[in-house]
Amino acid sequence: MPDTIHCPALLISAPASGQGKTTITAALARLHRNQGRCVHIFKIGPDFLDPMILERASGNPVYQLDLWMGGQAHCQQLLYQAAAKADLILIEGVMGLYDGEPSSADLAAQFHIPILAVIDVAAMAQTFGAVAHGLATYRAGLSFAGVLANQSASASHTEMLKESLSHNLPWLGALSRDQSIRLPSRHLGLVQAEEIVNLDQHLDNLADNLSQTALNVLPPPIAFTPPDIVSGELPQTLKHVSIAVASDTAFSFVYHANLNLLQAMGAKLVFFSPLKDDMFPQADSLYLPGGYPELHLDKLESNCVIREGIRDHHAAGKPIVAECGGMIYLLTTLMNSSGQQAAMVNILPGHATMKNHLVNLGLHSATFPNGELRGHTFHHSQLETSIEPSTLTQPTRKGLRAEPLFCIGRLTASYIHWYFPSNPAVAAELFLP
């Protein structure tokens, strides 16, 4: 029997997006961190912005848990490793509790994680009890730690909410409506953590508010075990391979698990900023993650040294992996939603325009010569190019739109944010000189 580790844990979910899951998860992490505890947070599903806030709240890196992208054994191993060093594990769900395939409820059931249901009550009273009851009873076998009311208007409002709750659902408290501690957002979700003025003060204020609820104490510990089959050490496929990784506020959408995997396979990562640096790093390969290039058109256009360095890198036949914002940076031009246009790297002939609506989203995979790689797409830009794609990605659901995948020389570019642990061998091949 594998060694079992016990650690308190909660999965924070809600009836829908926009209910305050990230706010409550961040507040809960900061509350217990301020009490001297080690808190490790996971985010269900593909997301880059929420984890930035959660990392500031907890002081530790935030990793994704996704049963489709990473698989059950991978998720179980991440949880087991966290349980070995944490005083508290928090898992922020995705969308509503039962939304998606797999859903937050699927992960809670798989690993027996108790659920904290967060419900925005700004426009309801006794219906709070019905919504909470539905969340708790829609699927059998889930464990509910209790319910937290978010955005309560007054003490009398809170009392009505509490009275409406079924006797078998624990009332954990309420947070009052307070615009001063709401986290700002933009079209892809929350604003990046480093852009929020006085973020730590926001988090401490949230933690103080949450300290008046039943969440001020740790939940009961639950059991975590390692997967039955634990993968051994990864082959050193990328030993002595240096990979330049774009890393700044324009290119910040990257999974910690991706970088860890590259390093575990022997790669040396060299971080650089296309916004600020005046020299392109010497490296065997280049990784251009997604981000917000449309917010930094002037700086990206004016940094001719970096643009020329990337063109020279490509002309030399060296590998480039470009994801979403990293791909549109390689186009001829990019136009933001205000109509401002700027010259980009011009490796991929074409143009992208930012739209005021979501263009595509969903979980996708693509087949490469040595296997399948999985990831997700979520973007507001429209691509126009004369280049025919090498292939199209495969969405997980019928009716979703496939994304073009461009393989030009050693360039691999698409709107997909790849999750490298889904197939380490394929990931390594993309960066091999």
Every domain of the chain and the residues it spans: 5-224, 242-431
Instruction: Say if residue 266 is exposed, middle or buried (CB neighbours under 10 Å; 0-12, 13-18, 19+).
Output: middle
Contact 80, 226 (CB under 8 A): yes
Residue 186 has pLDDT above 60, yes or no: no
* Residue 191 confidence class, pLDDT cut points 50, 70, 90: low
The residue-averaged pLDDT of 321-336 equals 98
Which candidate, 90, 107, 84, 81, places its Cα nearest to that of 55? 90
CB 424 within 8 A of CB 312: no
What was the pLDDT predicted at 1? Answer: 42
Catalytic residues: 324
Q: Return the closest-CA partner of residue 44 out of 23, 21, 60.
A: 21
CB atoms within 10 A of CB 7: 21
Residue 135 has what DSSP assignment?
A: H
**Measured in Å, how far apart are the chain's first and last C-alpha atoms?**
43
Q: How does pLDDT run across 52-105, given as a tens digit for each residue?
A: 999 999 999 999 999 999 999 999 999 999 999 999 999 999 999 999 999 999
pLDDT (average), residues 10-32: 96
What architecture does CATH give domain 242-431?
3-Layer(aba) Sandwich (3.40)
Indicate whether 283 pLDDT > 50.
Answer: yes
Q: Where are the alpha helices (DSSP H) in 291-423?
A: 297-302, 304-315, 325-329
The CATH number, out of the four listed (3.40.50.300, 3.40.390.10, 3.30.450.40, 3.30.360.10), of the domain defined by the range 5-224: 3.40.50.300
Q: Mean pLDDT for the chain?
A: 93
pLDDT given for residue 82 in this prediction: 98
Nearest Cα neighbor of 352 from 375, 376, 322 is 322
DSSP assignment letter at 251: B
Q: In one letter, which amino acid is 269? A: L
Least Cα distance to 267 among 301, 309, 234, 224 occurs for: 234
Neighbours of 421 (CB within 10 A): 25
